Amino acid sequence: MKIALIASEVTPFAKTGGLADVLGSLSIVLEQLGNEVFVIAPAYSSVRRGGFGLHDVMQFSVPVGDRAVPAEVLQSLIGNRVTIYFIRADQYFDREFLYSTPAGDYPDNSERFVFFSRAALDLMRHFPVDVIHCHDWQTALIPVYLKTQAARYSEITRAKTVFTIHNLGFQGIFGAADWRLLDLDLGLFTPQFLEFFGNINFLKGALIFADKLTTVSPSYAAEILTPEQGFGLEGVLRQRAGDLVGILNGVDYQLWNPWTDRFVTDHYGENSLSQKNACKEKLRQIVGLPNREDTPIIGMISRLTPQKGVDLVEGTLDTLMARGVQLILLGNGDVRYENLFLASMARFPDQIAVRIGFDEPLAHHIEAGADIFLMPSLYEPCGLNQMFSLKYGTIPVVRAVGGLKDTVQQCNVGANSGTGFLFEPYTSDALLAAIDECLAVYRNRPAWSALQRRAMAMDFSWNRSAKNYTDLYRQLVS
């Protein structure tokens, strides 16, 4: 099959989160399964200045409201295997950040991604495909245009559309005044279609018009049908429940593997765990924590937002420090949380290390050197770090939601089963109880080693997920 994957970010060209990792890995594995795949993404400044060997393909004009906006198409490769096309329009994409600055979202995000969606469709008119697979709100208008403006896109109207929700909390909601940019019939600005409490909702358009809908874990597919996690779209999703499927994200074990990790000097595996202690010492050296034998290190790599459960960590912090653990946190997000954890580092200089921002080498050192990994999310569509942690024998403590409960099994020492620790109530007490349960096993060295080996034996490679996507594509095309 000929498949186009369309997204607003792709590793290694531009990244703010797991979406980029998914596109970078999934595209390659789909190609390995015998499909003909290409990817379309914006030509951000990081793309054009990143030394990716870009070359020009074509130019055309894209309708945005009542204007024709010039677009340039650049081309490169993902992993020397999959073609990726970049849509260039410097007035939209030549910016330091992808979607927002620390001061807030770009005010022209609606126009930027109307342009990108229409440019992607115009590009595909030159390269017809069987399946168009769109990801998140930035590409959600593509199924809308394809279904409602078939005459313009006659070369690709036979293509089937799949839309993947990576995080329903981000929907692309814009004021009604921006409707003029979309060049859609006013009849679509109604509650049955794209109107959402007086605003335009890009993602809602894809939920209505795409042929199939997917989420990034089976549990999240069920959770978004409820008012608690539906973010106001649970009614629309329940109407499409027969076309909604949860396919778990995978892990690129060429990048995330303690045997081969290029950022880590001391390599190890499930049957050779001794070098993990060397990784632990190295991690402490990097972040400036004292080396205390038998003191467990808890790692966190996270956006510092309410979704990630950092308020629960705030509520347990002093008690957790009294347990004698060390905490290493890497992330950025809400200024309140950044300041909170920086202040906690000042209060507990021998126990807490905080790095604000994203640091790829440090992320690998945390996975390799920490004993425990914390993900107490309020909701979690899939999550990747808990799967990285399992491979590194860094035991996850997670809340039992979404992809976290699909990938982490509750440890039972007596039954010699399980790979981590889960809690359900969204409370600091429940989180602390799960950490205490984990620490009790940590102090039982034979049980801890057995738990690490079980965790490291888990396989969440992309092959299984890509086969599930391929089956879905075949079902649509046939």
What percent of the chain is predicted at pLDDT more than 90? Answer: 93
DSSP for 28-55?
HHHHHTT-EEEEEEE--HHHHTTT---E
The two tokens of residue 226 are 């409820």
CA dihedral 40, 42, 47, 48 (to 10 degrees): 110
- Kindly give the interhelix angle for 141-148 and 202-209, rounded to the nearest 10 degrees: 50
The two tokens of residue 366 are 């945390």
Judge contact between 397 and 375, C-beta under 8 A: yes
Query: Would you say residue 358 has pLDDT above 90?
Result: no
Q: How far apart are CA 292 and CA 350, in angstroms?
A: 10
pLDDT tier at 5, thresholds 50, 70, 90: very high
How far CA 290 is from CA of 139, 352, 356, 368, in Å, comes to 47, 10, 20, 18
pLDDT tier at 16, thresholds 50, 70, 90: confident
pLDDT tier at 373, thresholds 50, 70, 90: very high
The two tokens of residue 132 are 């168009």
**pLDDT score, position 390:** 98
Q: How far apart are CA 363 and CA 465, in angstroms?
A: 24
Q: How far is CA 107 from the centre of its chain?
A: 24
The two tokens of residue 356 are 């604000």
Q: What angle do CA 382, 93, 95 make, to 5 degrees?
A: 95
Q: What average pLDDT does range 276-292 have in this prediction? A: 96
**pLDDT score, position 108:** 96
Q: Which residues contact 148 (CB under 8 A, 6 or more apart)?
A: 184, 185, 188, 209
Query: Would you say residue 102 has pLDDT above 90?
Result: no
Q: How far apart are CA 168 and CA 402, in angstroms?
A: 12
pLDDT tier at 80, thresholds 50, 70, 90: confident
Q: How far apart are CA 326 and CA 367, in angstroms?
A: 14
How far CA 144 is from CA of 140, 153, 242, 372, in Å, comes to 7, 12, 19, 44
Residue with tokens 């008012």: 227
pLDDT tier at 103, thresholds 50, 70, 90: confident
Q: What average pLDDT does range 410-434 have in this prediction? A: 97
For 131-165, give the secondary structure using H, E and C. EEEEECHHHCHHHHHHHHCCCCCCCCCCCEEEEEE
Q: What average pLDDT does range 227-251 have in this prediction? A: 96
Query: Would you say residue 272 has pLDDT above 90?
Result: no
Query: Would you say residue 45 has pLDDT above 90?
Result: yes
Write out the H or E segment, with its range, that includes residue 27.
helix 18-32
**pLDDT score, position 104:** 86
Q: What is the mean pLDDT of the chain?
A: 96
User: What is the per-residue pLDDT across 116-137, written as a single tens digit (0 to 9) for each?
Assistant: 999 999 999 999 999 999 999 9
The two tokens of residue 74 are 């650049």
Query: Would you say residue 18 has pLDDT above 90?
Result: no
Q: How far apart are CA 303 and CA 381, in angstroms?
A: 14
**pLDDT score, position 2:** 97
Query: Would you say residue 271 has pLDDT above 90?
Result: no
Report which DSSP code applies to 371: S
Tell me the pairing of strands 100-101 and 104-105.
Answer: antiparallel
Give which of 83, 76, 70 is closest to 30, Cα–Cα.
83
CA dihedral 115, 106, 301, 325 (to 10 degrees): -170
Q: Which domains does the chain have, with CATH numbers?
A: 2-250+462-477 (3.40.50.2000), 276-456 (3.40.50.2000)
pLDDT tier at 288, thresholds 50, 70, 90: very high
467: exposed, middle or buried (Cβ count in 10 Å: 0-12, 13-18, 19+): middle
Query: Would you say residue 50 has pLDDT above 90?
Result: no
The two tokens of residue 433 are 């109880």
Q: What average pLDDT does range 98-111 have in this prediction? A: 92
**pLDDT score, position 177:** 97
**pLDDT score, position 404:** 98
Q: How far apart are CA 98 and CA 8, in angstroms?
A: 8
Q: Which residues pair with 135 in a beta bridge?
A: 164
Q: What average pLDDT does range 325-339 have in this prediction? A: 95
Report which DSSP code applies to 444: S
How far CA 386 is from CA of 83, 159, 445, 447, in Å, comes to 30, 35, 22, 20
Query: Would you say residue 397 has pLDDT above 90?
Result: yes
Report which DSSP code applies to 184: -
